[in-house]
Chains A and B, each alone.
Chain A
Amino acid sequence: MGTDAGRKPYSVIGTPRAKVDAATKCTGEAIFADDLVLPRMLSCKMLRSPHPHARIMRIDTAKAHALDGVHAVITGADLPIPFGILPVSQDEHALAPDHVRFIGDAVAAVAARDEDTATAALDLIEVEYHVLPPIGSVAQAATTPEPQLHGYADQGNLHKLIHLEFGDVEAGFGRADLVQDDVFFYEGSTHLPIEQHAALARYDKNGRLTLWSSTQTPHYVHRALAKVLELPPSRIRVIATPNGGGFGGKSDPFPHEIVVSKLAILTGRPVKICLTREEVFYCHRGRHPVLMRVRTGVTKDGSITAMDFESYLDGGAYGSYGVASAYYTGALQTVTYQVPAYRFRGARAFTNKAPCGPKRGHGTPQPRFAVEVTLDKIAERLELDPAAMRLRHLQPANSITANYLKIGTMGLGQCIERVCAGSGWNTRFRKLPYGYGLGLACSSYITGAGLPIYWNAMPHSGVQLKCDRGGGVTVFCGSTDIGQGSDSVLAYIVAEVLGLDPMKIAVVTADTDLTPVDLGSYSSRVTLMMGQAAIQAAERVKECIARAVAAKLDLSMERLTFSGERVCDREHPEDGMSFADAVVLAESASGTIGAVGSYTPARSPGRYRGSGVGPSPAYSYSACVAEVLVDGDTGIVQVPKVWIAHDVGQAINPALVMGQIEGGVYMGLGEALMEEMSYRENRNLVHKWPSMLEYKSPTTLEMCDVTTYLVGEPDPNGPFGAKEAGQGPLLPVMPAVANAIYDAVGVRIDEVPMSPPKVLKAIQAKAKGKEPRVGPTEAPDVAWPPVTAVPTPAEGGDGRAVEPGRAPAGGR
């Protein structure tokens, strides 16, 4: 095994090692939500709407109630309080009270002695629907303001409308030698975690509710349960079980979590549900389908003078994270290459489909696809090498973008150089035989959202540390391990600070009774925020122990070092004691040893409405070269190999970072080539393929080889310099494949997924002398709200928008 001795100043950080929970995951010992069984436990099943849009005229549950073995049947009337992940879109009900908005919307639920009885009872529930015409697309939502799916939408059935401008975009276009104008479509896709969502609720005789659930966000589930069930939060305990895959799909509070809780309260017995695979498709909250138009002004050397970006998101039936998703489709265009003037208009529509939300990369893979393909076209038109062109115009480190995102370390240049060297870019790009191609694309992602989901001034992550007299250390944090290894990161960081073996640190996470709040596993925030809180807690414990040891050894505290499970004199390491003895000494001197730590991100410089989405303590960077093989007769695209470099700052555990990158490439490849969450528009908006067989995802036979490069320098805002790795590396894969297809066969597929029919169609068009392209050509008509104009830092702006009615700077 590789050793980093001499390469890094750390004993734990930066060294590949096993995850603290790896053995339990490889032996069947790990307990997932559906593995839990409690005495007297009942089974829950939910009845779901067969209509995409309807009013519920009548529900009769009497026959279901009467079935032998049924203990309770509930409907929307039993859970009238709405909820939702964002405070601005509290638009969901655990069971629809009177209005169903997509096929799969839940209307009733049963608790019965077993799953078969519960399923049989669903057939006995009579529901009379008045069917309403459904809305199937953004364009239809824009032209069908009535009836509204939700009364709180910004405009008709357009949930959210955004119009931001940073600097003078038209002047920027005026300075351009070339204005590239492109329209792209990025189809929706779903997380497809292998574990179906499951939850178990128990309501004890002391009036306390406990929910075990496969959730990425136990804190937000806790809040939603308290609201909907009208219970004090102190009487609710949410425990997140290990997630059998999350990817964003278990980040919302879900109806089934509320329903089993309610049924446990009503029956006085534990109630469990495990969703079927089909139901998991209806939970969704995955990638928004997004239509995008991007106009980019460039000078002859490829430097961007202005960018005008429009995105149109098909949001599905509910808000979910959608307002944030819509902002994210416009937020990170500015952090890779310099964009001095930037306009973003975004519209999210309500449609009668399963609700969209955050999937790995949340709202940013779609615009990144658009930007990276449009840049490839620009390089072609300017006769520039696309790698060299990007390298010349990188956003500088330690800078502020036009939309007020604060960039720290920035390793994109190094990323591009590594993948170009590895793939033989200079000798192979545009030089391979017909059918073979190379494509390059880049990306960036946030390392944690700068703001919490609900407004508050409290920490985003809290960690508590306890030492026992035997030298054991237990670390408590609300963070949730979804397979990315956050429990392990917690142990590594505490072990590093205290000089201990990480396998000896006990980790207690994701339990709202036991652990301080961490906001959850989303937005690539956990390593940075939990890590910083853990460092603070561990440093406080260290100081307390060091004080006692220093007094005993008659040394200054600065002379002490914690390493190898000992506390000793740095200059005379034989003078010292075991960590366990040091704890006993400290506890004798000052009482029980423990500490807390917390982390809150610094405020971002943006002060305009909408500036809350995009800021982050640090940005990761990735560059990717994809090699493709395109069959001109069938349109089948094979991707034998991907080279990817990722600027992760300092890797806490490089083996786990590699795993995140390889997993990101895999998920990106699926989106590039095959994954489609789509609906039959002419057949009542029924989901085309809610099964794992027909929803195509890459198997071992489609997955490419991956060569991974870890680059970058430690970022001062990250714990030991670490930045994120969980989401960013997915982003460049789709545009790299698109650009490689162009290199291979000279056609542009301006749509994701780049499935064989589209590729073949473009190849055939090219053969006939028609435009060698497949993709959308126009965007829907949307009446945009008045612009929020924000002078850029370069224009002397202070992060605030120009107030309406006031002339912009220099305009008087």
Chain B
Amino acid sequence: MTQPISLSRTRKIPGSFVVNGERHDITFSSHKTLLEVLREDLGLTGTKHGCELGECGACAVLVDGMPVLSCLALAAAYQDRGIATVEGMADGPSLHPLQEAFVELGAAQCGYCTPGVLLTARALLNENPRPTRHEIKKALAGNLCRCTGYIKIYEAVELAARRMRGEEAEPLEESLHGY
């Protein structure tokens, strides 16, 4: 039997990643995905993984404002691009309106799909500040969530959208108490 190729011995290459506005000059294994570089080389474990095959959406990050499945993205191809992860959503101690709405409504249960959902929703609201329920569903159709049934997620995105448009908005009574 021949010795298998050990990927861990592939050459590390120098790279420069701009994540949440911060530049990181590192060396990394050239075969790594963006997910792996974020989690393992930059310590940004807020980005999650559920399949590492592009099926669940948990690893979604934004690249120049567009959602990208970081588990399918070859890191080397994303140098010098504007990468946004969940760690960069809050402004210091102030949560992003999406994060705030998710907290208020209980849109994060186990919280594992949440980073990918938040970033995908953020991309949606940047493009379309007034999405319909159906547009939210379409935007989030690639993010699986097993806890919430998605309903509190829609309601939180809608609440955040209203607040980001400058409206005074509170959760609906029936979202919190039922009918």
Task: Please report whether the interface of chain B is mostly helix, strand, loop or mixed according to DSSP.
Answer: loop
The verdict on A596 contacting chain B, using a C-beta distance below 8 Å, is no
Q: Does A586 contact B (CB under 8 A)?
A: no
* CA–CA, A705 and B176, complex, Å: 16
Bound: A19/B108 CA distance, A: 9
Given A277-B53, A692-B53, A654-B178 contact (CB < 8 Å) = yes
Question: Is B104 in contact with A120, judged by CB distance below 8 angstroms?
Answer: no
| B71-105 interface bits toward A, Cβ cutoff 8 Å, 1 = contact, 0 = none | 00000000000000111011000010001001111
Question: For residues 1 through 25 of chain B, which have their beta carbon under 8 Å from a beta carbon of chain A?
Answer: 1, 3-8
Within 8 A of A (CB), among B132-178: 136-138, 140-152, 154, 170-171, 173, 175-178
Bound Cα distance from A422 to B137, whole angstroms: 24
Whether the Cβ atoms of B105 and A655 lie closer than 8 Å is: yes
Which among B44, B50, B109 is the interface contact of A277 at CB below 8 angstroms?
B50
Contact A28 B44 (CB under 8 A): yes
| A566 at the binding interface (Cβ < 8 Å) | no
Q: Nearest-CB distance from A28 to chain B (Å)?
A: 2
Task: Check B30 for interface membership: any CB of A closer than 8 A.
Answer: no
* Complex Cα–Cα for A344 and B138 (A): 46
Interface stretch (choices A98-106, A199-207, A239-247, A758-766)? A239-247
B99 touches A701 (CB 8 A): no
Contact across chains for B48 and A2 when beta carbons are under 8 A apart: no
A710 at the interface (CB under 8 A from B): yes
Cα(A705)–Cα(B112), bound, Å: 23
A710/B177 in contact, CB under 8 A: yes
Q: Are A692 and B51 in contact (CB under 8 A)?
A: yes
The closest CB in chain A to the CB of B176 belongs to A16
Within the complex, what minimum Cβ distance (angstroms) separates B101 from chain A?
A: 9
- Complex Cα distance, B45 from A655, in Å, reads 28
Taking a contact as CB atoms closer than 8 A, the residue among A31, A120, A654, A663 that contacts B149 in the complex is A663
Inter-chain CA distance A496–B27, complex, in Å, is 52
CA distance A496 to B112 in the complex (A): 29
Give 1 or 0 for each of A705-728: 1 = CB within 8 Å of chain B CB: 111111000000000000000000
**A664 vs B17: C-alpha distance when bound (angstroms):** 41
Interface size on A, residues (CB 8 A): 77
Is B70 in the interface zone, CB < 8 Å from A?
no
Nearest-CB residue, chain A, relative to B133: A705
Known: A26-B95, A692-B50, A708-B178. A701 touches B112 (CB 8 A): no
Q: Which residues of A contact B86 (CB under 8 A)?
A: 26-28
- Distance A25 CA – B108 CA, assembled complex (angstroms): 7
- Which chain B residue shows the least CB distance to A35? B45
Among B85, B87, B112, the residue within 8 A (CB) of A194 is B112
Least CB distance, A269 to chain B, in whole angstroms:
16
- Separation of A26 and B148 alpha carbons in the complex (Å): 14
A191 and B146 in contact, given A1-B171, A116-B7 (Cβ under 8 angstroms): yes
A735–B159 CA distance with the chains assembled, in angstroms: 34
Instruction: Please give the distance in Å from A659's CB to the nearest CB on chain B.
Output: 5
Q: Interface residues of B, CB < 8 Å — how many?
A: 68
Contact status of A242 and B7, CB under 8 A, knowing A28-B46, A63-B1: no
> Which residues on B sit within 8 Å (CB–CB) of A244?
48, 50, 110-112
Q: Is the CB of A194 within 8 A of B148?
A: no
Whether the Cβ atoms of B151 and A26 lie closer than 8 Å is: no
| Residues of B with C-beta under 8 A to A210 | none
Which of A29, A117, A710 contacts B46, CB < 8 Å? A29
Tell me how far the C-beta of B40 lies from the nearest C-beta in chain A, rounded to whole angstroms. Answer: 8
Are A659 and B109 in contact, with the CB atoms below 8 A?
yes
Closest to A19 in B: B106
How distant is the Cα of A665 from the Cα of B152 in the complex, in angstroms?
13
Asked if A28 and B87 make an inter-chain contact with CB atoms under 8 angstroms apart, the answer reads yes
- With A26-B99, A26-B111, A691-B51 given, is the CB distance from A697 to B144 under 8 Å? yes
| Distance of A276 Cα from B3 Cα, bound (Å) | 24
In the assembled complex, the Cα of A127 lies from the Cα of B113 at a distance in Å of 38
A662 and B176 contacting across the interface, CB-CB below 8 Å: no
* Alpha-carbon distance A330/B46, docked complex (angstroms): 43
With the chains together, A25 CA to B145 CA distance in Å? 14
The winner among B95, B115, B147 for most chain A CB atoms within 10 A is B147
Whole-angstrom CA separation of A537 from B156 in the bound complex: 36
Judged by a CB distance under 8 angstroms, whether B63 is at the interface is no
A589 touches B (CB below 8 Å): no
Are A26 and B114 in contact, with the CB atoms below 8 A? Answer: yes
The interface residues of chain A lying within 8 Å CB-to-CB of B8 are 69, 113-114, 116-117, 120
Q: Shortest Cβ distance from B32 into chain A, in angstroms?
A: 10
Docked Cα-Cα span, A113 to B164, in Å, equals 47
By a CB distance below 8 angstroms, the chain B residues around A26 are: 86, 95, 99, 102-103, 108, 111, 114, 118
Contact B145 A194 (CB under 8 A): yes
Taken together as a complex, chains A and B put the C-alpha atoms of A26 and B101 apart, in Å, by: 10
Asked if B6 and A120 sit within 8 Å, CB to CB, the answer is yes
- One of A305-313, A346-354, A435-443, A481-489 contacting the partner: A481-489
A245 pairs with B147, CB closer than 8 A: yes
Contact indicator B52/A277 (Cβ below 8 Å) = yes
Q: Is there an interface contact between A196 and B95, defined as CB atoms closer than 8 Å?
A: no
Residue A508 interfacial (CB < 8 Å): no
Question: Whose C-beta in chain B lies nearest to the C-beta of A701?
Answer: B141
Smallest CB–CB gap between B22 and chain A, Å? 14
- Say yes or no: A22 contacts B108, CB within 8 Å: yes
Contact A196 B50 (CB under 8 A): yes
A194 touches B109 (CB 8 A): no
Q: Counting CB contacts under 8 A, is A193 at the interface? A: yes
Q: How far is it, in angstroms, between the C-alpha of A37 and the C-alpha of B45 when the chains are bound?
A: 10
- Select which of B3, B55, B152 is within 8 A of A693 by beta carbon: B55
* Cβ–Cβ < 8 Å partners of A19 in chain B: 103, 106, 108
Contact B4 A483 (CB under 8 A): no
Contact B175 A655 (CB under 8 A): yes
Query: Residue A32 at the B interface, CB < 8 A?
Result: yes
Of the candidates B87, B115, B150, B173, the one whose C-beta lies within 8 Å of that of A700 is B150
CB neighbors of B among A10-31 (8 A): 16, 18-19, 21-31
Residue A456 CB within 8 A of the other chain: no
Measured CB to CB, the closest approach of chain B to A216, in angstroms, equals: 11
Collect the chain B residues with CB atoms within 8 Å of residue A624's CB: none
Looking at the assembled complex, report how far the CB atom of A406 sits from the nearest CB atom of chain B, in whole angstroms.
Answer: 28
How far is it, in angstroms, between the C-alpha of A665 and the C-alpha of B3 when the chains are bound? 51
Q: Known: A2-B177, A27-B99, A692-B56. Is A666-B148 also a contact (CB below 8 A)?
A: yes
Q: Which of B45, B115, B144 contacts A31 (CB under 8 A)?
A: B45
CA distance A21 to B112 in the complex (A): 13
Once A26-B111, A113-B8, A692-B56 are accepted as A-B contacts, the answer to whether A1 and B152 lie under 8 Å apart by CB is: no
**B: which residues have CB within 8 A of A?**
1, 3-8, 39, 43-53, 55-56, 58, 85-87, 89-90, 95, 99, 102-106, 108-115, 118, 136-138, 140-152, 154, 170-171, 173, 175-179
Query: Can you spell out 28 A-B residue pairs with CB atoms less than 8 angstroms apart?
Result: A2-B176, A16-B176, A16-B177, A22-B108, A23-B99, A25-B110, A28-B45, A28-B47, A28-B85, A35-B39, A120-B4, A193-B110, A193-B112, A194-B112, A243-B110, A245-B146, A245-B147, A277-B51, A484-B109, A658-B152, A659-B148, A691-B51, A691-B53, A699-B141, A700-B154, A705-B151, A708-B178, A709-B178
- The 6 A-B pairs with the shortest beta carbon distances in the complex, nearest first, are A28-B46, A25-B111, A483-B110, A244-B112, A666-B149, A35-B45
User: Apart from A116-B8, A663-B146, what are 10 other A-B pairs with CB-CB below 8 Å?
Assistant: A19-B108, A22-B103, A25-B114, A26-B99, A28-B115, A244-B50, A483-B111, A691-B55, A697-B146, A708-B178
